[in-house]
């Protein structure tokens, strides 16, 4: 195999095929290239059978990219390699062993909205106050529990209060409902394979024999369920290669645990470690700035990214007057770049929260700059699309009560809530599905429509089936007769759905309804970034992971915004915010702009925010400041110890104070008698503004 163009460490990571291997791959170090070449090396040089290789990554986009690259090297042989996301792989295991897990072959997968519908119904049946037992909060609690491999039986150990007891009851009813409906939720795709392996050790051994070589991408993003699944599969042969970077672990809110990658050497004592430290993406200045920031984290592997790229320009730092000035500055700088011949698709604006995009969008519109907001809207979440998918799912699995409840009166058929409730009650009394319970009335007419479509599904293409649903259900005619702008948009969306099915059929040939439903169930984000679109990209830092742009603007780098005010509680949270900043900086290839505001309307209040600590962590030699760089860390306050705040309580946002315990700080907001103060050492604190421990400077 030819290794021209690979550095020594990349070659080492490719050739080290036997036993456990940890590859710490820094930003822009070519990890995808290493992974794909390693797979090819196993087959071409080590004579490993393609079907004995399992490669797992986190997104459909990454899995597709890996498949394409390996296919370019191996050709048809690549089809025998299992390359997928964790959830896709979990689904495969369940499909191959559904009977052992107590499911029928035509099980359906509920999305987050569907699970919410089930939980709302359970809470209503239990006559609980939704203000106390918030359905979304309960759903998230159940989801996070399952990702920690805690089912309702195990959850009993965590019950301490009356609230917990009710949550447990909801959890139990939820699991029972899914079983009756022959349904799984998204979290089950990870949990149930582990249940399978624990119940049937012989099945586990079969898969251990099959997948003798395992590769895991983005290992720092694994949660408990993913971690356990990987350990179980690799236990026999231990030919496991994990690739990742703890400095880019930014998804703890999804359950990911960066400690999984830090503990790899403990889990596999015989493991070898390879550091990929050469960066091929960014200039020396950008890379050194990123290193400046991340070195302040304690929970990390020792590494130092370097590059042979040019030094590049200094980071451009602008401290705006307010958020409007911030947005105007960004828009005008982007305008200059475009006027100088820079491609729009090589410009990105990154922010900590989606709410920050509003003023940027306004400024972009004023400057006539074409842009797109990544992740702002999700095609499959549109009502008419979810209705259509529910028809498809009910045709495939008539026992899917969630889908039936959603569409039994779509379009309106005169089937009211009372009738639906009667069907639900009867179904629960007889321990059967709602569909099987229906025997009379207008609901029977609906049942006949579904039964007819079930007959037709094997005699027509997927696109033809969609057209039949639209006609026979009355959905299309109902929208046509409405004759509004909204109904026209909905019709266009349904037509767009048919474009999706046509493309699916053209790519795959003859496909089953099962295949299509699986595909759309596993789609993580329809609005993924497309570099071919000639527009400027606006997105959160979380959404930017894995992407790169020649020109990057990071806005809102202020205390309380980035790092976010919710991160001040623990050192772990602050470290994750710093990793997030590291990810933001390393998205830039050539030019980086960092921007913040002295004043910002935040949470309905005017706030005066000191510059983010992350700016102060970057050496001055790498920053070109427009105006004066403010540095709260080097500020030397003159304190009048005799002037107590209970004597002079006229505090205002932006005032500098000293606290007897917390030291130097800046007032962020005033709300009545409460002052929110950002302290350089301890972060945001809410204190009585006239407390004697606070000294105004």
Residue-wise pLDDT tens digits, 116-131: 999 999 999 999 998 8
**Lowest mean pLDDT, pick from 87-101, 260-274, 293-307, 652-666:** 652-666
| Calpha distance 528→550 (Å, rounded) | 19
Give the full edge-to-edge strand order of the sheet including 588-597.
371-373, 536-540, 347-351, 549-554, 588-597, 315-320, 623-626
Q: Is the dihedral of CA 104, 108, 109, 111 positive or negative?
A: negative
Query: Of the residues 248, 283, 307, 356, which is catalytic?
Result: 248
Nearest by Cα to 114 from 193, 223, 188: 188
Mean pLDDT of 233-245: 95
Catalytic residue among 218, 387, 400, 576: 218
Q: Residue 152: which of 179, 131, 171 has the closest Cα?
A: 171
Please determine, for residue 647, whether its predicted confidence score (pLDDT) is greater than 60: no
Catalytic residue among 185, 187, 217, 576: 217
What is the model's pLDDT at position 112? Answer: 84
% of the chain exceeding 90 in pLDDT: 63
Contacts of 21 (CB under 8 A, 6+ apart): 13, 240, 241, 242, 271, 272, 273, 274
pTM above 0.85, yes or no: no
528, 526, 527, 515: which is closest to 109 by C-alpha? 515
Active-site hit among 9, 10, 31, 326: 31
pLDDT at residue 223 is higher than 80: yes
Residue 417 a catalytic site member = no
CA 135 to chain centre: 21
Catalytic hit among 32, 59, 82, 625: 32
Cα distance between residue 376 and residue 384, in whole Å:
18
Alpha-carbon gap, residue 665 to 680, rounded angstroms: 6
192 a catalytic residue? no
Neighbours of 102 (CB within 10 A): 10
- Cα–Cα distance measured from residue 510 to residue 462, given in angstroms and rounded to the nearest whole number: 9
pLDDT at 630: 53
pLDDT at residue 681 in the model:
63
Which range of 227-241, 242-256, 373-387 scores highest in mean pLDDT? It is 227-241
Q: Are strands 21-25 and 240-244 parallel, antiparallel or unpaired?
A: parallel
Label residue 76 by pLDDT band (50, 70, 90): confident
Q: Whole-angstrom Cα distance, residue 73 to residue 493?
A: 39
Structure tokens at 310: 């040019």
**Token digits for 191?**
């949990």
Asked about 267 being catalytic, the answer comes back as: no
* Dist CA 516 CA 64 (whole Å): 17
Q: 368: which DSSP letter? A: T
d(CA 194, CA 201): 10
Q: Which residue of the set 146, 300, 587, 599 is catalytic? A: 587
Q: What angle do CA 498, 501, 504 make, to 5 degrees?
A: 150
Q: Taking each helix axis from N to C terminus, what angle separates 188-199 and 135-147, rounded to the nearest 10 degrees?
A: 40
Query: Residue 223: helix, strand or coil by DSSP?
Result: coil
Whether 472 sits among the annotated catalytic residues: the reply is no
Active site residue 32: yes
Across all residues in the chain, what is the average pLDDT? 88
Share of the chain above pLDDT 70, in %: 93
Mean pLDDT of 135-139: 89
Q: Is residue 664 over pLDDT 70?
A: yes
Contact in structure between 18 and 239 (CB atoms under 8 Å): yes
Tokens 């899914």 — which residue? 178
Q: What is the pLDDT of residues 526-584, one digit of tens each?
A: 334 444 478 999 999 999 998 999 999 999 999 989 998 888 778 889 999 999 999 99
Q: Is the pLDDT of residue 602 over 70?
A: no
Q: Is 248 a catalytic residue?
A: yes
Q: What is the pLDDT of residue 690?
A: 82
Dihedral of the alpha carbons of 333, 337, 343, 344, in degrees to the nearest 10: 20
Given a cut of 60, whether residue 648 has pLDDT beyond it is no
348 DSSP 8-state letter: E
């Amino acid at each position: 195999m030819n290794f021209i163009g690979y550095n020594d460490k990349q070659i080492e990571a490719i050739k080290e095929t036997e036993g456990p291997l940890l590859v710490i791959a820094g930003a822009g170090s070519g990890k995808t290239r290493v992974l794909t070449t390693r797979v090819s090396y196993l087959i071409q040089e080590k004579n490993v059978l393609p079907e004995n290789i399992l490669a797992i990554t986190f997104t459909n986009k990454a899995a597709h990219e890996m498949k394409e690259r390996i296919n370019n090297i191996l050709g048809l042989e690549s089809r025998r390699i299992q390359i997928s996301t964790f959830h896709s792989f979990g689904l495969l295991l369940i499909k191959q062993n559904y009977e052992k897990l107590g499911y029928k072959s035509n099980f359906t997968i509920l999305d987050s909205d569907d699970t919410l519908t089930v939980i709302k119904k359970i809470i209503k049946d239990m006559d609980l106050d939704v203000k106390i037992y918030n359905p979304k909060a309960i759903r998230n609690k159940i989801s996070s529990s399952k990702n920690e491999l805690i089912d309702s039986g195990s959850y009993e150990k965590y019950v301490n209060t009356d609230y917990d007891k009710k949550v447990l009851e909801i959890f139990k009813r939820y699991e029972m409902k899914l079983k009756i409906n022959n349904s799984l939720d998204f979290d089950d795709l990870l949990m149930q394979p582990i249940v399978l392996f624990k119940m049937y050790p012989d099945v586990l051994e079969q898969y251990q024999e099959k997948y003798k070589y395992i590769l895991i991408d983005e290992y720092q993003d694994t949660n408990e369920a993913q971690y356990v699944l990987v350990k179980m599969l690799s236990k026999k042969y231990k030919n496991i290669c994990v690739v990742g970077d703890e400095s880019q672990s930014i998804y703890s809110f999804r359950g990911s645990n960066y400690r999984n990658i830090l503990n790899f050497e403990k889990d596999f004592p015989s493991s070898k470690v390879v550091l990929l430290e050469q960066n091929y993406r960014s200039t020396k200045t950008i890379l050194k700035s990123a290193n400046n920031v991340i070195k302040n984290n304690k929970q990390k592997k020792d590494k130092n990214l370097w590059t042979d790229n040019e030094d590049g320009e200094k980071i451009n730092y602008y401290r705006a007057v307010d958020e409007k000035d911030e947005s105007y500055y960004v828009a005008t700088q982007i305008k200059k770049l475009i006027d100088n011949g820079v491609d729009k698709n090589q410009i990105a604006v990154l922010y900590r929260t989606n709410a920050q995009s509003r003023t940027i969008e306004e400024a972009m519109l004023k400057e006539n700059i074409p842009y797109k907001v990544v992740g702002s809207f999700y095609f499959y979440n549109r009502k008419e699309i979810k209705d259509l998918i529910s028809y498809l799912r009910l045709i495939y699995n008539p026992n899917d009560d969630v889908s039936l409840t959603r569409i039994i009166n779509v379009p309106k058929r005169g089937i009211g809530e009372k009738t639906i409730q009667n069907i639900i009650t009867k179904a629960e009394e007889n321990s059967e599905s709602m569909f099987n319970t229906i025997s009379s009335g207008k609901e029977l007419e609906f049942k006949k429509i579904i039964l007819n479509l079930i007959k037709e599904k094997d005699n027509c293409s997927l696109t033809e089936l969609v057209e039949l649903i639209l006609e026979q259900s009355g959905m299309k005619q109902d929208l046509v007769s409405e004759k509004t702008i909204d109904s026209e948009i909905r019709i266009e969306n349904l037509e767009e759905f048919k474009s999706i099915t046509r493309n699916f059929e053209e790519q795959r040939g003859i496909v089953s309804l099962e295949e299509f439903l699986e595909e759309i169930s596993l789609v993580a984000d329809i609005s993924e970034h497309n570099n071919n679109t000639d527009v400027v990209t606006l997105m959160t830092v979380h959404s930017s992971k894995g992407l790169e742009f020649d020109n990057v603007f990071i806005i809102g780098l202020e205390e309380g915004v980035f790092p976010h005010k919710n991160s001040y509680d623990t050192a772990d949270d602050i470290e994750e915010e710093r990793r997030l900043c590291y990810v933001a900086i390393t998205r830039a290839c050539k030019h980086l702009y960092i921007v913040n505001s002295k004043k910002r309307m935040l949470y309905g209040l005017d706030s005066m925010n000191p510059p983010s600590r992350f700016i102060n962590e970057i050496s001055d030699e790498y920053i070109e400041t427009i105006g004066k760089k403010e540095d709260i860390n080097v500020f030397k306050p003159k304190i009048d110890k005799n002037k107590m705040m209970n004597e002079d309580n006229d505090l205002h946002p932006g005032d500098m104070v000293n606290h007897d315990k917390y030291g130097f700080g800046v007032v962020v907001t005033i709300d009545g008698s409460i002052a929110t103060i950002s302290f350089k050492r301890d972060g945001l604190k809410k204190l009585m503004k006239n407390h004697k421990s606070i000294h105004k400077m």
